[in-house]
Amino acid sequence: MITPRIKICGITNPADAMAAVQAGADWLGLIFVPHTPRFVSLESAKNILSELRAMHPSIDVVGVFQNQTPSEIEQHIQSLNINRVQLHGNESPEFCAQISAPVVKTFLLHPELPKLDISALRRKAAAYLEVSQVQTLLLDLPKGSVMQSVSDIAQSNADSELVRAFFYDFPCLLAGGLTPHNIQQVLQTFQPAGVDVASGVEQAPGKKDLDKMIQFCQIVNRFKPQPNHGENLSCNP
C-alpha cells in the first residue's frame, strides 16, 4: 500500500517553502504562469530554491506552466534544476514529448460533472501516458465550476464512481478545493495516488499557513489505501 503523495503548490517565498517541507510535503509547486495570484518570476524562484536546497537538497520541485513555449519551459528547467513540469493548459502529447523533465499533465473535470464523458477522458489519458515524459496526471476542477471542491463529488455515489474508476487505472493526483477539513473524505472516496493543495492551506493567496499545512499532511500520511489499490500507480517516478 502506498501513502498518497502530497504536493503543496503556489509557493511564493523561502519561508513558505521551508514550512511546507517541515509540514510533510513530498513535492513543492512553483507557478510560472503570469497574471496568476501565485506567480513567481525566474529570479524569485532562484532565491526560493537556493535557500530551500541548502537545507533540503532532495526535495522534489514542480514547475507549473500553462500554454507556454517549450523554450520558455526549458529555460526554467535548466536555470532552476526543477525535478518535473506540470502542464496546465492545452499542451498536446506531442508537446509533452519535447520537454526534458518528467511531466505532470493536468486534466480538467467538466464544470457540471454529469456531463463528463469519462470514456473520452480515459482515452485522452491513455494517449498522454504513451509519451515517456508523461508519468503522472492531475485531475482538477476548472475555473467557474459549479462545484466548490472535489469533495462535492463525493456527495453523489453516481458521480464519485465515475471519478473513482479513473484513479484505479491511472497514476493521478487530485486537486480542486482541498482543505484539512475535507481531505479525509476525499481520500476515502477516491484513493488517489497523490493530492495537490494550494489555497486550502493558505492565510491569503500566496501566503501559506503552517498549522493548516501540518494538519493537511498529517491526515494524508495517516491514510491507508485499500490493499491492491494503486500498487503500480506511483506518482513518484
Residues with a catalytic annotation lie at: 9, 140
Burial letters for 162-198: b for 16+ Cβ neighbours within 10 Å, e otherwise?
Answer: bbbebbeebbbbbbbbbbbebbeebbebbbbbbbbbb
Rounded to 5 degrees, φ, ψ at 83 are -80, -30
Burial letters for 2-16: b for 16+ Cβ neighbours within 10 Å, e otherwise?
Answer: bebbbbbbbbbbbeb
- Which residue blocks in the chain are alpha helix, DSSP H? 14-23, 42-55, 70-80, 93-96, 118-129, 157-169, 183-190, 210-222
* Three-class SS state of 15: helix
- Grid cell, residue 103, equals 511531466
